[in-house]
Chains A and B, each alone.
Chain A
Amino acid sequence: MLRAALVIARKDLRLTAGRSAGLAQAAALGLLLIFLFSLSLVPGQRMSAQGASAVFWMASAFCQVIIFGMLYGYEGGKGQKQGLLLAPIPVQSIWLGKALAGVAMLACAQALFLPASIIFLGQELGPAWKAGLVVIFICDAGIAVAGSLTGALAHGQTGKESLLSILVFPLLVPLFLGGIRVGSSAFGGSGEAIGDWLGICLAFDAVFTAAALPLFPFAYSTDE
């Protein structure tokens, strides 16, 4: 399963690299959001650490929607999807492959969002930033695991269904709350209870992985 997932992830990243508009579009949207929120500040004023962290995660959330829309869009023609489903691999490896590609792309985008938040929102890295990075990664993993499932749900014939990926935002609330709190302490806010948040984020990852494994075949099939 892992081998097939890696083959799929590699193919998707290769496709993304070849397409100039792809990831750039997602990153641009996120950067724009961060910049727009910097307008809420009077010149010289700094945004609170928690505020900046919230903006950072909001940018990531919208980025996620575009990323998974794009990743499942690669099998937009019916033929490619049939090909994947006919291959002698567990269907779940498609989910895992897309999640792996997604987490890599999200991390790339966040590598831009992080300095952008620091510059535009007047933040500094606090002492807890290393732990913060770890939690960001765990949150990203959760976003990818859930996003890969909902991306498969949203993947379909009509553009209307793409709205679906936004409908699932509330499902990600536990991750966002965790990400915002930990991000806030990484930006030099009060550093409390990172361990607890780590637990919740890990639980989220585990629950969504456990749910996606049996549910994905129903979300991604050709038999209508």
Chain B
Amino acid sequence: MKDEAILKRTAGERVFRLISPMALIAGLALTLCWVLIFVYAPRESTLGLPQKIFYLHLPLAWWAMSGFFLTFAAGIVYLRTGKEQWDAAAAASTEVSLVFACSAVISGSIWARASWSVWWTWDARLTTALIMCFVYAGGLILRSMDMPPARRARICAVFGIVAFLDVPLVFFSARLWSYIHPPSISLEPEMKLTLAVCLAAFAPLWFCLAALRMKLDLDERRFDALRAERLSREERRSR
């Protein structure tokens, strides 16, 4: 009885209890980030203020990629077990990571404007991030299509797996296409520390958003299942 399975809360869902404390941690950590970025970290000599974008850009890109990896992993687990929770996890992770990836592309573009005075350049990392935005945006459209739910979940899982395998190929081909490396910046120790804190601070943020989205998704599914059950009960009674 596949449908009833969704009604039971699994032990794994205890992870949702972490949402509130994690949100608190994320809030505090991000506040600390702002202080570090604007007060503690030294101003870079050549780029000036726009260099600070870097502290946001890198964590965004980083956690977007990690999120896409989670979509990939959740897809595999879903195909193996057929448990809807994993489909919901893949969906939530795709959505949040896509927001992160788009923010990374936009911030990267502003960075490019400030440092190379063009909005766009065929840098491998930038290109890869952009293509991934396209791919996963397609993945979201796929999710919104009208199909039998089990088929949709399966198709999205396959798509998530294939999309992630494509990442390194896109990266290498983009690098070969146009061999521009962003000048490697030598980071001051203060900068390194700021960057590390930013990287860490975005983790609870990502987790909160994804967990909330997943919880909402599961609640929606449960609501649908309960409503269907009630309708069929009423129908039986009226007969």
In the bound complex, residues from chain B placing their C-beta under 8 Å from that of A200 are: 169, 172-173, 176
CB <8 Å contact, B163 and A171: yes
Count of chain A residues with a beta carbon within 8 Å of a chain B beta carbon? 34
In the bound complex, residues from chain A placing their C-beta under 8 Å from that of B111 are: none
Residue B134 CB within 8 A of the other chain: yes
Q: A164-B142, A167-B141 are known contacts. Are A174 and B162 too (CB-CB below 8 A)? A: no
Q: Beta-carbon contacts of A148-166 to B below 8 Å, as 1s and 0s? A: 0100010011101101100
In the bound complex, residues from chain A placing their C-beta under 8 Å from that of B165 are: 207-208, 211
Residue B131 CB within 8 A of the other chain: yes
Q: Could you tell me the distance in whole angstroms from the C-beta of A68 to the nearest C-beta in chain B? A: 15
In the bound complex, residues from chain A placing their C-beta under 8 Å from that of B100 are: none
Report A143-195 residues with CB < 8 Å from chain B CB. Answer: 146, 149, 153, 156-158, 160-161, 163-164, 167-168, 170-171, 173-174, 177-178, 181, 193
State A29–B123 Cα separation when bound (angstroms).
33
In the bound complex, residues from chain A placing their C-beta under 8 Å from that of B159 are: 153, 168
CB <8 Å contact, B161 and A215: yes
In the bound complex, residues from chain B placing their C-beta under 8 Å from that of A196 are: 176
> Taking each of B134, B158, B161, which has the highest tally of chain A beta carbons within 10 Å of its own beta carbon?
B158
Residue B155 CB within 8 A of the other chain: yes
Q: Choose from A157, A160, A171 the contact partner of B135 (Cβ within 8 Å).
A: A171
State A193–B169 Cα separation when bound (angstroms).
16
Q: Choose from A161, A170, A218, A219 the contact partner of B138 (Cβ within 8 Å).
A: A170
In the bound complex, residues from chain B placing their C-beta under 8 Å from that of A177 are: 173-174, 176-177
Residue B203 CB within 8 A of the other chain: no
Other than A177-B176, A178-B173, A221-B154, give 18 A-B pairs with Cβ distance below 8 A.
A149-B158, A153-B158, A161-B145, A167-B138, A167-B142, A171-B163, A171-B166, A173-B166, A173-B170, A177-B174, A203-B169, A203-B172, A204-B169, A207-B166, A211-B161, A218-B154, A219-B155, A224-B150
